[in-house]
């Protein structure tokens, strides 16, 4: 018994180190620095909706950090987030909006959070979120929960999961009010062609 | 640009005098948050024309697409904002009234696609130049520090009333310094040239300084503050007040009289001269032009102090001073010439008077007050350049709605807004900023509620529920359409919330009732004024028209004051002289100079403003002194008297001439009018007033 306790005390810090190393590796795996295109399926559970809403489309991430969500179904909608500004264009409803992210309040914060998650820049969230990860065989899960005492009761809980295939990821964002959004994402392309598409879609969203 | 603007917004928001700052193409967060607070009152403020709009808003056939629109809104980035409203107002009726605001920001976004236009709401009032001077310096410092780190890629331009008020204040301060220094130096030089005595200069300047201080103190006591222009014009008074010691000193020097004897001898003329000058300044104060009352009070006390000090203090001070009165070349010669050729010159004068009368109908009056404003072309161009990035709200033109109470004022402003909507549809007006739906009258709230309650039929409710089902929205949370909230949204509740910042400048509540302002975009002033005809308590206000109207009123009043001033001066001279001929002769040089100057302006095509008239009024009050001295001739030597008058004319020209250096148009106009008036009046004295003999 004494020997067991001693062993536990000796190995405990090493278990912590292994845990930190595993998290760093995981964060490195989900991070994108170049331009990439994903196809996605989205499932949203809204408080005011009677059943989950499903959408699908393409997500494009640029080298400059911009992120474009091109929803293709059930209707075409473009949502763009650049470093400073967000754009929204719904051709069917002819609704076009733009706003400075810094001045867009909760919507701006959500967009920033979403971009950090999708682009894997989770280090930006480490000041406000506690990170835990689990690995079961080839499957892994990264869970981010808001740090207590941050006075942001609306901050969501985020769960990113995947397996050995780094091109596929699942992202679950659970809002404090019970609403949730789940993305199933598959990387479909990388490189300069993606940048061209980003520029084209950005111009369309801006209305040029 | 966006990134830079965002950083600048954050930095500017930290400046002490900044109430709020935001990018012009999107509403500030406070506005969005404020809109959310209107959700419970959705049934009471959805439309300015509820009966007219109700049919479309409550059309059961459109409820399917309304529900689908709600679903899309909930899925959009603004979903959080929409959800908070939809939980209380599932039809999103409360947003209907704010649609125009959204459209305005959309237009603004098109104008400001670069994102460089910011709107800053300051805490100090727009005309608080001192506070705005500090604020603008802080804004520039914030911009410069950010721009430096951005590689000096950006340029800052500011527009708005405070920018002009600070520029005007700076110019006026410059004028005050320039005029004060130039006037003092000029009077000093003239004085030294005439009397060549530093000792006498020292004492006379002490007397003037004391008069100036007394005038300033009295003005501060009466008004609570002293305006910069009062000090600028006050500086010119030094030249006038110096006249009294000058007459004494000329007599001392020429007749070798002790100063006390000279003062006693000249005192009746000095007192009457001072009195007529005070009358002139009092008439100036009564023209009604803002600020001139202060100048009149300043003059009254300064002249009074100067006279009293000249009479009772100066003789003692000058007792040990040696005075050398310079012989001014041409003075005796002109007086002699007038004496020798009196008949011919008088004929010429009479012909001149008749011709001058004929030219008067051609006199051009300046009816555009803007021409009297400071030349700020560069600032105006900058203002236009900045405004081109904003959706147009015309500065200086708006609609004022007045009533005994806020409720009536709101009802009237809603009637105005209905008319303005029609004028927008006909293209007479591009846009406007009213108070609806931020503030809604109880009547309109009741009407909205009635239309809503009538529309709330079981069929309508069923159609809404069907729409929700089709859009996959929750029947539990959105399906119930409750009756209108019983309690109306009261103005005091709204104005106790952050909305008061949004409406600041549009509501003035006081003991005389409430005044509401509706800002206007580009418009046709005549057609807009016609379009608002017949609306009770409503007035289309154009600052330019108002100023032009005021210019006319001031002109008429200054002409009246000129006539009254001359009449009162004549009355006082009559009381002293008890001889109507002497009164006429005393007044004639100054009145004739006014006539000739008007004739000259007529022939030159000069546009004459009320300021020109006020300048002439001042010249009359000064010239009449010359007439009094010349007529009294208490030294019994008209050559000495005329030398005294010449000396005081020179100091008056020196001090008023200095006003001509000012950039504020008021000052050069006064300089020209007074200088012309006193010069002509001085020259006419020996001609019109026969060489007195005793």
- Is B6 within 8 Å of A103 when comparing Cβ atoms? yes
For chain B, say whether A82 makes contact (Cβ under 8 Å).
Answer: yes
**Chain B positions in Cβ-Cβ contact with residue A109 (cut-off 8 Å):** none
Q: Is residue B693 part of a domain?
A: no
Order of all β-strands in the sheet with A168-174 = A95-100, A85-90, A77-81, A67-73, A53-61, A36-45, A180-190, A168-174, A157-162, A139-146, A129-136
Cα diameter, chain B: 115
Lowest mean pLDDT among A130-139, A166-175, B366-375, B665-674: B366-375
pLDDT confidence of residue A21: 62
Length of chain A: 208
Q: Which residue has the higher pLDDT, A21 or B498?
A: B498
**Chain A positions in Cβ-Cβ contact with residue B76 (cut-off 8 Å):** 88, 90, 95, 97
What are the tens digits of pLDDT across the range B405-421? 999 999 999 999 999 99
Asked if pLDDT for residue B691 goes beyond 60, the answer is no
- Is B115 within 8 Å of A47 when comparing Cβ atoms? no
Q: How confident is the model at residue B112 (pLDDT cuts 50, 70, 90)?
A: low
User: Which of A43, A44, A49, A75 would you mutate first to test chain B, the one with the most B CBs within 10 A?
Assistant: A49
What are the tens digits of pLDDT across the range B437-485? 999 999 999 999 999 999 999 999 999 999 999 999 999 999 999 999 9
User: Which of B11, B28, B75 would you mutate first to test chain A, the one with the most A CBs within 10 A?
Assistant: B75
Q: Is residue B308 part of a domain?
A: yes
What are the residues whose beta carbons fall under 8 Å from the beta carbon of A103, sequence distance 6 or more? B6, B9, B22, B23, B26, B28, B29
Other CB atoms within 10 Å distance of the CB of residue B34: 20
Q: How confident is the model at residue B392 (pLDDT cuts 50, 70, 90)?
A: low
Distance in angstroms (rounded) separating the CA atoms of residues B60 and B455: 9
Contact B668, B659 (CB under 8 A): yes
Give me chain A's average pLDDT, please: 82
Percent over 90 (pLDDT), chain B: 36
For chain A, say whether B474 makes contact (Cβ under 8 Å).
Answer: yes
pLDDT confidence of residue B76: 86
**Chain B positions in Cβ-Cβ contact with residue A176 (cut-off 8 Å):** none
Residue of chain A whose Cα is closest to the Cα of B23: A100
Asked if pLDDT for residue A40 goes beyond 80, the answer is yes
For chain B, say whether A203 makes contact (Cβ under 8 Å).
Answer: no
For chain A, say whether B506 makes contact (Cβ under 8 Å).
Answer: no
Of the candidates A93, A95, A100, the beta carbon closest to that of B26 is on A100
Other CB atoms within 10 Å distance of the CB of residue B178: 18
Residue of chain B whose Cα is closest to the Cα of A86: B77
Q: Is residue B631 part of a domain?
A: yes
Distance in angstroms (rounded) separating the CA atoms of residues A72 and B668: 72
Look at the pTM and tell me if it is higher than 0.80: no
User: What mean pLDDT is predicted for residues B6-16?
Assistant: 87
For chain A, say whether B65 makes contact (Cβ under 8 Å).
Answer: no
Q: Is residue B464 part of a domain?
A: no
Minimal C-alpha gap between A142 and chain B (Å): 25
Minimal C-alpha gap between B69 and chain A (Å): 8
Asked if pLDDT for residue B227 goes beyond 70, the answer is yes
Q: Is residue B441 part of a domain?
A: no
Contact B475, A50 (CB under 8 A): yes
Please tell me the total count of domains within chain B: 1
- Is A84 within 8 Å of B2 when comparing Cβ atoms? yes
- Is B87 within 8 Å of A79 when comparing Cβ atoms? no
Distance in angstroms (rounded) separating the CA atoms of residues A184 and A39: 8
Of the candidates A47, A88, A107, the beta carbon closest to that of B81 is on A107
What are the residues whose beta carbons fall under 8 Å from the beta carbon of B541, sequence distance 6 or more? B397, B398, B399, B400
Minimal C-alpha gap between A92 and chain B (Å): 10
- Is B478 within 8 Å of A85 when comparing Cβ atoms? no
**Chain A positions in Cβ-Cβ contact with residue B78 (cut-off 8 Å):** 88, 97, 107
**Chain A positions in Cβ-Cβ contact with residue B101 (cut-off 8 Å):** none
Distance in angstroms (rounded) separating the CA atoms of residues B214 and B651: 21
Asked if pLDDT for residue A188 goes beyond 90, the answer is yes
Other CB atoms within 10 Å distance of the CB of residue A171: 21
Q: How confident is the model at residue B196 (pLDDT cuts 50, 70, 90)?
A: confident
Distance in angstroms (rounded) separating the CA atoms of residues B526 and B519: 16
- Is B26 within 8 Å of A111 when comparing Cβ atoms? no
Distance in angstroms (rounded) separating the CA atoms of residues B267 and B629: 10
For chain B, say whether A202 makes contact (Cβ under 8 Å).
Answer: no
User: Which of B76, B77, B80 would you mutate first to test chain A, the one with the most A CBs within 10 A?
Assistant: B77
For chain A, say whether B473 makes contact (Cβ under 8 Å).
Answer: yes
* Chain A residues 41-60 with CB within 8 Å of chain B: 44, 46-51, 53, 55
**Chain B positions in Cβ-Cβ contact with residue A99 (cut-off 8 Å):** 26
| Complex confidence, ipTM | 0.82
User: What mean pLDDT is predicted for residues B17-32?
Assistant: 81
Give me chain B's average pLDDT, please: 86
Distance in angstroms (rounded) separating the CA atoms of residues B300 and B122: 39
Minimal C-alpha gap between A144 and chain B (Å): 21
Q: Is residue B512 part of a domain?
A: no
Of the candidates A93, A106, A107, the beta carbon closest to that of B72 is on A93
Lowest mean pLDDT among A124-128, B167-171, B520-524: A124-128
Distance in angstroms (rounded) separating the CA atoms of residues A59 and A171: 13
For chain A, say whether B4 makes contact (Cβ under 8 Å).
Answer: no
Q: How confident is the model at residue B77 (pLDDT cuts 50, 70, 90)?
A: confident
Domain span including residue B291: 164-371+546-688
Q: Is residue B393 part of a domain?
A: no
Chain A to chain B, count of Cβ pairs less than 8 Å apart?
Answer: 92
* Chain B residues 86-115 with CB within 8 Å of chain A: 86-87, 106, 109, 113, 115
Asked if pLDDT for residue A13 goes beyond 60, the answer is no
- Is B26 within 8 Å of A53 when comparing Cβ atoms? no
Domains and CATH numbers, chain A: 2-206 (2.50.20.10)
């Amino acid at each position: 018994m004494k020997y067991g306790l001693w062993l536990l005390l000796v190995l405990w810090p090493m278990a912590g180190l292994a845990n930190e190393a595993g998290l760093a590796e995981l964060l490195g795996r989900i991070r994108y620095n170049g331009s990439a295109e994903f196809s996605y399926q989205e499932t949203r559970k809204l408080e005011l909706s009677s059943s989950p809403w499903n959408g699908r489309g393409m997500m494009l991430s640029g080298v400059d950090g911009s992120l474009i969500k091109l929803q293709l179904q059930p209707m075409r909608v473009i949502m763009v987030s650049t470093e400073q500004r967000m754009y929204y264009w719904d051709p069917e409803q002819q609704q076009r909006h733009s706003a400075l992210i810094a001045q867009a309040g909760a919507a701006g914060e959500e967009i920033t959070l979403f971009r950090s998650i999708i682009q894997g820049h989770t280090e930006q969230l480490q000041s406000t979120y506690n990170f835990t990860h689990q690995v079961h065989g080839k499957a892994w899960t990264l869970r981010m929960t808001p740090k207590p005492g941050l006075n942001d009761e609306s901050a969501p809980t985020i769960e990113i999961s995947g397996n050995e295939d780094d091109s596929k990821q699942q992202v679950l964002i659970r809002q404090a009010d019970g609403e949730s959004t789940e993305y199933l994402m598959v990387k479909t392309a990388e490189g300069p062609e993606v940048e061209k598409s980003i520029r084209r879609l950005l111009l369309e969203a801006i209305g040029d | 640009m966006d990134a830079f603007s965002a950083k600048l917004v954050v930095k500017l928001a930290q400046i002490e005098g900044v109430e709020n700052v935001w990018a012009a193409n999107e509403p500030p967060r406070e506005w969005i948050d404020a809109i959310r607070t209107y959700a419970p009152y959705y049934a009471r403020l959805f439309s300015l024309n509820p009966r007219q709009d109700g049919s479309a808003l409550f059309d059961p056939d459109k409820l399917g697409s309304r529900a689908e629109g709600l679903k899309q809104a909930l899925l959009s980035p603004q979903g959080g904002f929409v959800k908070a409203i939809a939980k209380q107002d599932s039809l999103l009726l409360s947003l209907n009234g704010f649609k125009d605001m959204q459209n305005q920001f959309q237009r603004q976004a098109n104008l400001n696609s670069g994102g460089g236009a910011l709107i800053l709401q300051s805490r100090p009032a727009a005309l608080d130049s001192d506070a705005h001077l500090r604020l603008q310096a802080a804004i520039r410092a914030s911009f410069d520090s950010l721009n430096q780190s951005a590689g000096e890629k950006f340029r800052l331009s500011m527009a708005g009333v405070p920018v002009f008020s600070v520029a005007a204040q700076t110019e006026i301060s410059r004028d005050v310094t320039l005029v004060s220094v130039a006037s003092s130096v000029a009077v000093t030089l003239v004085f030294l040239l005439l009397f060549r005595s530093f000792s006498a200069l020292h004492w006379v300047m002490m007397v003037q300084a004391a008069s100036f201080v007394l005038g300033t103190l009295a003005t501060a006591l009466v008004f609570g503050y002293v305006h910069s222009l009062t000090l600028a014009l006050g500086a010119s008074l030094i030249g006038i007040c110096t006249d009294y010691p000058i007459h004494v000193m000329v007599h001392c020097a020429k007749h070798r009289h002790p100063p006390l004897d000279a003062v006693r001898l000249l005192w009746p003329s000095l007192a009457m001269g001072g009195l007529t000058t005070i009358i002139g300044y009092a008439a100036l104060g009564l023209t009604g032009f803002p600020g001139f009352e202060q100048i009149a009070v300043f003059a009254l006390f300064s002249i009074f102090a100067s006279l009293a000090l000249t009479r009772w203090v100066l003789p003692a001070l000058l007792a040990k001073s040696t005075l050398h009165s310079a012989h001014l070349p041409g003075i005796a010669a002109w007086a002699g010439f007038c004496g020798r050729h009196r008949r011919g010159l008088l004929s010429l004068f009479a012909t001149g008077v008749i011709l001058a009368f004929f030219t008067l109908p051609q006199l051009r009056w300046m009816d555009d007050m803007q021409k009297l404003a400071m030349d700020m072309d560069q600032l105006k161009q900058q203002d236009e350049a900045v405004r081109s990035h904003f959706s147009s709200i015309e500065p200086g033109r708006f609609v004022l709605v007045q009533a005994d109470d806020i409720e009536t004022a709101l009802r009237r402003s809603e009637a105005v807004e209905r008319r303005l909507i029609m004028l927008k549809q006909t293209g007479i007006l591009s846009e406007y900023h009213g108070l609806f739906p931020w503030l809604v009258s109880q009547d309109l709230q009741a009407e909205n509620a009635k239309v809503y309650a009538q529309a709330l039929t079981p069929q309508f409710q069923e159609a809404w529920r069907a729409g929700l089902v089709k859009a996959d929205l929750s029947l539990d949370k959105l399906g119930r359409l409750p009756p209108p909230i019983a309690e109306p949204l009261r103005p005091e509740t709204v104005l106790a919330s952050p909305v008061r910042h949004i409406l600041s400048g549009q509501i003035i509540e006081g003991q005389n009732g409430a005044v509401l302002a509706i800002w206007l975009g580009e418009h046709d002033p005549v057609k807009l004024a016609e379009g608002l005809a017949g609306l009770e308590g409503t007035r289309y206000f154009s600052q330019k028209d108002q100023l032009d109207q005021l210019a006319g009123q001031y002109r008429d009043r200054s002409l009246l004051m000129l006539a009254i001033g001359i009449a009162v001066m004549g009355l006082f001279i009559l009381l002293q002289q008890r001889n109507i001929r002497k009164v006429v002769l005393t007044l004639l040089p100054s009145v004739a100079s006014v006539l000739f100057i008007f004739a000259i302006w007529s022939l030159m095509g000069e546009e004459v403003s009320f300021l020109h008239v006020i300048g002439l009024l001042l010249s009359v009050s000064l010239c009449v002194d010359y007439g009094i001295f010349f007529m009294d001739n208490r030294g019994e030597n008209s050559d000495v008297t005329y030398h005294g008058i010449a000396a005081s004319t020179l100091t008056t020209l020196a001090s008023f001439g200095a006003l001509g250096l000012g950039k504020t148009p008021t000052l050069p106009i006064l300089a020209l009018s007074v200088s012309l008036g006193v010069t002509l009046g001085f020259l006419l004295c020996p001609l019109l007033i026969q060489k007195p003999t005793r």
